[in-house]
Homo-oligomer: A and B are copies of this chain.
Amino acid sequence: MDPSLINFKVLYVVTQLCGLTMIVLVGTWIGEHFGGLAGTDNPKQEFNWHPLFMTIGFIFLYGNSILIYRGFRTTNKKTLKLTHASIHMAAFILTVIALKTVFDSHNLANPPIPNMYSLHSWLGLSAVLIFCLQYVAGFMAFLVPGMKENYKIALMPLHIYFGLFGFVLAIASALMGLTEKAVFAIPNYSELPSSGVLTNIIGVLYVIFGCLVVYLATEPSYKRKPLPEDTALLSTSNQ
């Protein structure tokens, strides 16, 4: 095996461990310090779905969907494309639920809390919009048959750049979300109680996960090489 792929595999496993730890810690954070999960009858705790589902959907699944081509390089392109679109769809569904719960937690509070005023909300929703536009554009260009090959080639670098940009913006938004939650809900944050330390550790893990995903997705020596059957698929899909 190409020696650079050994590094890739090691970093890929570290990325997964980092991502899973991140999810477990967010679960612990909301369970131990903010009362766990609830429905619309308890808007304050309904909010807790927001960080949990954003972490699973808009960070972990989004990142893993980006990595699918390089992580499963021996699988044929068509299957990878469908898997990429499916994981992104799962990420989208979780993100929509995460948005619904945060709007509920504002609108159903007594008195209601205004929506969409913070920088976190502006940039977070921008990241969701970029994600949606990318999904539609990527679906039309790379999954629906008929797009000319030279257009695909021209669109691909933009699809990759804005895909990674949306992912990094999602992480930056999550860091602002953690900051807001810590300042609003941990009165003695400045004394670094266990809830505050956990908040910061989750933030550090978001950054490490993001750094690893972007590195694995952009390092040229880790790029997936086309398989012979990819070309066959390509010529049939263009018929």
Interface residue ranges, A against B (CB under 8 Å): 113-114, 117-120, 122-123, 126, 157, 161, 165, 168-169, 171-172, 175-176, 178-180, 182-184, 189-192, 196, 199-200, 203-204, 207, 211, 214-215, 218-219
Contacts and interface: CB of A to CB of B under 8 A. Distances in A.
Contacts of A161: 215, 218-219
Contacts of A199: 119
A105 to B, nearest CB: 14
Contacts of A184: 183
Contacts of A126: 204, 207
Given A157-B219, A179-B179, A204 B118 contact: no
Contact of A207 (B118, B120, B172, B196): B172
Nearest to A183: B183
A192 B117 contact: yes
Contacts of A180: 179, 183
Contacts of A171: 172
The 3 A-B residue pairs with the shortest CB-CB distance in the complex, in nearest-first order: A119-B203, A172-B172, A114-B190
Given A117-B190, A118-B189, A157-B219, A179 B182 contact: no
A150 to B, nearest CB: 16
Max chain B Cβ within 10 angstroms of own Cβ: one of A123, A189, A199: A123
A23 to B, nearest CB: 18
Given A117-B190, A117-B196, A165-B211, 12 more contacts: A117-B192, A118-B179, A118-B182, A118-B200, A122-B203, A123-B175, A123-B204, A126-B207, A171-B172, A172-B175, A176-B176, A218-B218
Nearest to A162: B211
Contacts of A122: 200, 203-204
A8 to B, nearest CB: 14
Contact of A117 (B178, B191, B218): B191
